[in-house]
Chains A and B, each alone.
Chain A
């Protein structure tokens, strides 16, 4: 899956020049390079070199197209490396792309030269354009030069916390590449994986799970906390990611949940007859009634819709998940979808049929209703035919066997003889499995013995042999018939089968058997080895039962065998002679010779070749091959007792209190203690000012740990030096964080802010490539001019990073305090308990998916509270009896991304019906859009109806004017939104909040100090009032005196961050950070009275 994200464009990119060449081979005189003449080849490369030196981009581009064409054709273009690598810094993005393609192919071969390009990538990694950052990372990680492993590691780490989910996705891809280049990096990479697993972007999910599967598939513990999130995101992940996630979750579920199979059945069987006492005992044994873990159910429920995917791999993945995880009664739902896939390409059919074959052995019922879908067409390729036949045979039962046999008759006559032979085997299997039809089948097969085609006859013989063995009585006639066939049939297997049959039942055909031996003794030397062995066998058996007639013949055959070319035959001859011919040397065994040769042999079982495939997970390569493929991960058996399910609990609520509450109960004290000590240790460390790269790396590891993993690693190596300078810094921080920027020089600070903002912009408006590319070039030239400044700014950036880490420190410390207290008195958080429970999980996932693409860790949630306040749209007096009110329902995204949903209640106060109420002419300010409600056909007197409509206010408080029409009248009405309704609440972590806030300072920040009525200063009241006034989401806060809320604007998705910080003497500071400064200030104005009023 490497590089899947952009693989389309990548391929297109390469394919284009390739065909450009193909399309016009006559125009290039040197095109027939297939001759590979040495001189012409170098000449050609000379002209390419010149083109690459050219000052014109078009010439360079042409050259690069031809070079990439060469690569695609598998020709060696390595000698052009120096000429190509010079262009890596080209400003022309088309050239750049092609140079990247070249580098990925040849960097491994020319490592020293490749290093020249590294600095360009490092610079590109900081480019404001996310596409460039991502592709730089992709190329960097594809250059397989061991020396740059540390650089790659660093780049991956940084990219993993990039604002753009696309870049983070590429970071996940890079993990696998780095791992394959240097497995030593495993531990560090696992940390990045752990971090990315927490990512909430649907774009990242599939890729990081892929990396997980490749690097550390055994680290199931990393999945626990992300399990529910992955289940919920699944529908919105891209198709390839879905496949990977589903396979991983299948493995996960088999280790974490108890079997949904059997347990229930056993229970109900015993239920009736045992006394209560006994029952109770039984219960303990059989785990009482089976109740499915809700998480187990969640997985089944959320994967089900994916059966409707257009991607066969996704459908197959869900099918195997249901097969391996669902209660047997539910697995049936996948049949229909699998059968649908049979309409697809031959290759898809092949794999799907294989899997159905395995399934149909164990659970016939699943596919029986689709029997006819497996009927064979004469145009199917042989491998498909054989698989269909296999399934038909598996599905055969008493009820359908007559239909099936009729169908088989057609197949036997098929022109495809290989298939006809397979059909005969199938008939044989049906005959043994369904006793009712054994005789019918046998007769049918005997008829086939007179078929013209030898393959058909031979196969029939083999199958008849097996059938006769199962019921040896009264089949003398058939054996005689087959003895006659021996004269004509030449296929060795068939001849051998007949001989074996005659030998085995020689006492039933006493007259024929010796004659057959006579005939075959004559032809012995010309027979196939297989047949020779059976002639020897026949001889031995006859010698034992009828030595009078056959003694000499047998000895003759044994003599022939003695000098045979094949040592197998010679061996067997020697063995048989010693065993059956009595002489002085023969041991005790010869007495038992008859018993040995003519023992009752068990009849062969005619079984499906797919019988033992079921120990491989369905849908895997190993299953297809029926042998363990490299890297196959065994599906574990269900555990007897389910592991602790609480490991999957996540801190969903806004306060860390609840989370610690849960954790404190289920886990031991130990992690908590560790937590504590670690964060203290960190406090010291973070105070250090030395900002070496390695240290900042370990710093970020620490961050990860803070977030709740109890994983021990090598982070301790980082040295920490305390300086007085930083100490004061630290103090300042805890005291008042607003002064944090004071240390740094003003100009630098501003620059950074500007940079941060511009980066933010570029991610939010990702499509605007033109502007970003110009940005790129300017930043490029800047950094090129002075590499020193580059490193310097890097350093200062690190310093800033440290600052933010320190910022986080304070609340963290409080967490630790709260942890202890909370164990005694858990504080309920009534207002903002996760609303996800209200909506179906997949719907929430839908919503998440929508927003996630624009910004990473920030999700749209459902509204925290719905205002009850209604506004008048049309008074009944002015509406001639028609009254209308509206209120904002705060339901996100019903009418599309940018719409605010408005519920309009129309009431008929007249005493007559009002007909056809609809929206007429609209007078909307430019850009504003409206999604009308469906016309109300008729409103009875005194009736009232509520309808929903959507309005895109373009993030402004401008009025939407339109006409409300009835059949006879129309009334002009207006809707003006309160600014609080132009928002959609989002959830984000405190950390992210601060990060975002840090980037929305200066112009983007408005604040005011307000007086807060004393009764309003509790957390609950503040939250209640704020979310009522504006559609904001609650952000968990570690400090009691600071309350944070976040939302994004409905139209543009700009973040709106609201902070309420309580101060002494009943005042509070209200801070709003947003790019949308106008809305921000309006919101500030509206929020002020909300808190100050009593």
Chain B
């Protein structure tokens, strides 16, 4: 299926290659470079590029292109998903250990995702329920679309072959789910219980989508007043961020970014808190707000200087928001209990909740 793999870094060097069948010359990447040139940004390079004798399928992560060379028909997602797994594996491998001292040993186990003979002195299992809100808010502040996507990420360090079950107080909230292969699907179907022998270490147990029937609580609002005037080369810019439906929790890690129109030369702004940067080259404004104090709402005000002579931009910029709320799953999802079978020791168990902004956009 995949004939060869090339890794290309940001400066366009092929710094790693691997061939599974016969060797394919590097020159095949020239087609890729051509396509890269045509696309203005790395993000716009088409993931599938046909060449006279091959097909190039690529993924772009960590500023590296992973380019797979294919010779014949294959489901493109097969290759793309595989490449992403390769990247994940690299990330796992290079991220954690001191590279180079130990080659991974191939191991076959009865449970394919878990190696045998795992031993820990401290047995612990942590689960993070992380929910992300994707939303588009229109000019007037009303929600155009909002949905909640969640994941449960686990870090399980348990000796032996533990068999875990995890149940929810309100499993009905989960509308669409996808599982790590370790989860027993039948059990979920019949009892809405996650039953599994966990892999060792970090893994994503579950991804879910909260059913659309539930109204999504929007934890923050943005008040904005952005105006460009035709006559002068100055514009007004003012935004304020405030908490909305936060269930009494603090909104923190707030970060506002906005792509300004090309005609903007510079911005002179004063934040009431946090720091801000405007990059006059990329026209990207980012404001690191930090925590929102409901008593004193953070704001950013000032003037925008526009290129003289050009007409005012058609569109006001979109505001992208990031934020975090600890100890809250915005959908209301709650883990009921976590049990372990198959091993005798008592593990330490921990569950953490967090809500984050996903793709959270405010149109102005």
Q: Which residues of A contact B (CB under 8 A)?
A: 1-3, 6, 8-9, 11-20, 23, 65, 72-74, 94, 97, 105, 108, 130-131, 135, 142, 144, 166, 177, 180, 210, 235, 238-240, 243, 247, 305, 308-313, 315-317, 336-337, 340, 343, 345-348, 350-352, 372-373, 375, 377-379, 381-383, 407, 410, 413-415, 451-453, 619-622, 624-625, 627, 629-633, 766-767, 769, 840, 842-843, 846, 850, 853-854, 895-897, 929, 931
Residues from chain A with Cβ under 8 Å of B58 in the complex: 347
Chain A residue numbers with a CB within 8 Å of B108 are 130-131, 166, 766-767, 853
Cross-chain contact A375 with B145 (CB below 8 angstroms): yes
Inter-chain contacts of A142 with B (CB < 8 A): 20
One of B18, B22, B81 near A144 (C-beta < 8 A): B22
Query: Is there contact, CB below 8 Å, between B47 and A350?
Result: yes
Q: Which residues of B contact A9 (CB under 8 A)?
A: 103-106
Given A108-B22, A619-B75, A931-B341, A8 contacting B89 (CB threshold 8 A): yes
State how many angstroms separate the Cβ of B315 from the closest Cβ of chain A.
Answer: 4
Determine if A94 and B103 form an interchain contact, defined as CB atoms under 8 angstroms apart.
yes
| Binary contact readout B224-267 vs A (1 if CB under 8 angstroms, 0 otherwise) | 00000000000000000000000000000000000101100000
- Whether B60 and A346, one on each chain, are in contact in the complex, defined by CB atoms closer than 8 angstroms, is yes
Interface contact A308-B26, CB-CB below 8 Å: no
Structural contact, B17 and A243, CB atoms closer than 8 A = no
Determine which of B70, B84, B317, B342 lies in contact with A345 in the assembled complex, contact meaning CB atoms within 8 Å: B84
B107-152 interface (Cβ within 8 A of A)? 107-110, 112, 115-117, 134, 136, 144-145, 147, 149
The answer to whether A13 touches B103 (Cβ under 8 A) is yes
A15–B104 Cα distance when bound, in Å, is 11
9 A-B pairs with the lowest CB-CB distances in the bound complex, closest first: A631-B72, A20-B100, A413-B315, A372-B145, A381-B43, A347-B47, A313-B77, A767-B116, A378-B318
B185 touches A235 (CB 8 A): yes
| Residue in contact with B80 in the complex, picked from A65, A105, A348, CB distance below 8 Å | A348
B134 neighbours in A (Cβ, 8 Å): 343
In chain A, what residue has the closest Cβ to B320? Answer: A379
Q: Which residue of A lies closest to B102 (CB)?
A: A16
Interface 9-residue window, one of B171-179, B270-278, B298-306, B325-333: B171-179
Q: Given known contacts A240-B82, A351-B47, A620-B75, is B1 in contact with A2 (CB within 8 Å)? A: yes
Contact A846 B186 (CB under 8 A): yes
Q: Determine the residue in chain B with the shortest Cβ distance to A376.
A: B136
Contacts A/B (CB < 8 Å), 17 sampled: A1-B1, A9-B103, A16-B100, A74-B16, A105-B19, A108-B23, A210-B1, A235-B185, A309-B181, A312-B77, A313-B77, A313-B78, A315-B178, A347-B58, A846-B186, A854-B110, A896-B163
Please name all residues of chain A whose beta carbon is closer than 8 Å to the beta carbon of B75 when the two chains form the complex: 243, 247, 313, 316-317, 619-621
Asked if residues A2 and B21 are in contact (CB atoms below 8 Å), the reply is yes
B36 to chain A, nearest CB (A): 13
For residue B58, which residue of chain A has the nearest CB?
A347
Residue from B83, B163, B341 with most neighbouring chain A CB atoms (10 Å): B341
**A766 & B21 in contact (Cβ 8 Å cutoff):** no
Q: Are B77 and A351 in contact (CB under 8 A)?
A: yes
Q: Smallest distance from the beta carbon of B100 to chain A beta carbons, Å?
A: 3
* Distance A1051 CA – B15 CA, assembled complex (angstroms): 49
Looking at the assembled complex, report how far the CB atom of A20 sits from the nearest CB atom of chain B, in whole angstroms. Answer: 3
B1 to chain A, nearest CB (A): 4
Chain B hits for A627, CB < 8 A: 50
Give the residue name and chain of the A residue nearest to B188 (CB): A308
User: Is A2 touching B70 in the complex (CB atoms < 8 A)?
Assistant: no
B180 interfacial by beta-carbon distance below 8 Å: yes
B44: interface (CB < 8 Å): yes
Q: List residues of chain B with CB within 8 A of the CB of A11.
A: 18, 86, 89-90
Q: How far is the CA of A699 from the CA of B180 in the complex (A)?
A: 44
A23 and B209 CA atoms in complex are apart in Å by 41
Q: Which residue of A lies closest to B262 (CB)?
A: A415
Specify which chain A residues have a CB less than 8 angstroms from the CB of B61 in the assembled complex: 345
The complex places the Cα of A531 from the Cα of B189 at a distance, in Å, of 64
Contacts of A931 in B (CB 8 A): 341-342
Does residue B14 face the partner (Cβ distance < 8 Å to A)?
Answer: yes
- Given contacts A14-B18, A239-B181, A624-B48, list 10 more A-B pairs with CB under 8 A: A2-B2, A8-B89, A72-B17, A74-B26, A372-B144, A373-B147, A378-B320, A629-B55, A632-B72, A767-B116
Answer yes or no: B355 CB below 8 A from chain A CBs.
Answer: no
Given contacts A105-B23, A310-B181, A625-B48, contact A351 B17 (CB under 8 A): no
Chain B, 162-209, CB within 8 A of any chain A CB: 163, 175-181, 184-186, 189, 204, 207, 209
Check A308 against B178 for contact (C-beta < 8 Å): yes
Interchain CB contact under 8 A, B41 and A381: yes
Within 8 Å by CB of A8, from B16, B41, B104, B361, lies B104
**Chain A residues with CB under 8 A of B317:** 415
Q: How far is the CA of A935 from the CA of B94 in the complex (A)?
A: 47
- Cross-chain contact A929 with B344 (CB below 8 angstroms): yes
Interface residue ranges of B285-320 to A (CB < 8 Å): 311, 313-315, 317-318, 320
**Any A CB within 8 A of the CB of B76:** yes
Beyond A130-B108, A131-B108, whether A414 also contacts B361 by CB under 8 A is: no
- Chain B, residues 33-52, CB within 8 Å of chain A (1/0): the string is 00000000101101110100
Shortest Cβ distance from residue A752 to the other chain B in the assembled complex, whole angstroms: 25
Distance in angstroms from A375 CB to nearest chain B CB is 6
Q: Assess the B136–A375 pair: CB atoms within 8 A.
A: yes
Q: Hey, which chain B residues are within 8 Å of A846, CB to CB?
A: 184, 186
CA distance A72 to B89 in the complex (A): 17
Most-contacted residue by chain B among A20, A73, A315, A377 (CB, 10 A): A377
- With CB as the reference atom, state the residue of chain B lying closest to A452: B311
CA distance A840 to B189 in the complex (A): 13
Q: Determine the chain B residues whose CB is within 8 A of the CB of A453 once the complex forms.
A: 314
| B74 contacts chain A at the CB level, 8 A cutoff | yes
Q: A2-B20, A305-B185, A452-B314 are in contact. Are A633 and B73 (CB under 8 A)?
A: yes
Q: In the complex, which residues of chain A have a beta carbon less than 8 angstroms from the beta carbon of B163?
A: 896
Among B22, B75, B108, B134, chain A packs the most CB atoms within 10 A around the CB of B75
Cα-based distance from A631 to B14 in the complex (angstroms): 28
| Shortest Cβ gap from A21 to chain B (Å) | 9
Given A345-B84, A621-B75, residue A378 in contact with residue B103 (CB < 8 A):
no
Q: In the complex, which residue of chain A has the Cβ closest to the Cβ of B99?
A: A19
Q: A310-B179, A415-B259, A629-B72 are in contact. Are A897 and B55 (CB under 8 A)?
A: no
Q: Which residues of A are found within 8 Å of B43, using beta-carbon distances?
A: 346, 381
Residues of A within 8 A of B116 (CB): 767
**Interface contact A377-B136, CB-CB below 8 Å:** yes
Q: How far is the CB of B262 from chain A (nearest CB, A)?
A: 7
CB-CB under 8 A from B44, the residues of chain A are 381-383
Instruction: Give chain B nearest CB distance to A894 CB in angstroms.
Output: 11
Within 8 Å of chain A (Cβ to Cβ): is B93? yes
Closest residue of A by beta carbon distance from B341: A931
A410 to B145, CA, bound (A): 14
Given contacts A12-B89, A131-B108, A632-B73, contact A18 B178 (CB under 8 A): no
Partner of B100, one of A19, A316, A383, A632: A19
Flag whether B352 is at the interface (Cβ < 8 A).
no
Q: A343-B149, A347-B80, A633-B73 are in contact. Are A15 and B107 (CB under 8 A)?
A: no
Cα-based distance from A974 to B189 in the complex (angstroms): 35
Asked if B223 lies at the interface with its beta carbon under 8 angstroms from chain A, I say no
Q: Does B334 contact A (CB under 8 A)?
A: no
CB-CB nearest in chain A for B360: A377
Answer whether residue B154 sits at the interface, using C-beta atoms and an 8 A cutoff. Answer: no
**What is the chain A residue whose CB lies nearest that of B208?**
A340
Verify if B156 is at the interface (C-beta below 8 Å from A): no
Whole-angstrom distance between the alpha carbons of A310 and B361 in the complex?
A: 27
| Docked complex Cα distance between A142 and B76 (Å) | 24
B207: A residues at CB distance < 8 A? 310, 340, 343
Nearest B residue to A97, CB-CB? B103
B271 to A: closest C-beta gap in Å: 23
Distance of A138 from chain B, by nearest CB (Å): 11
CB distance from A181 to the nearest CB of B (A): 9
B109 touches A767 (CB 8 A): yes
A residues in contact with B145, CB < 8 Å: 372-373, 375
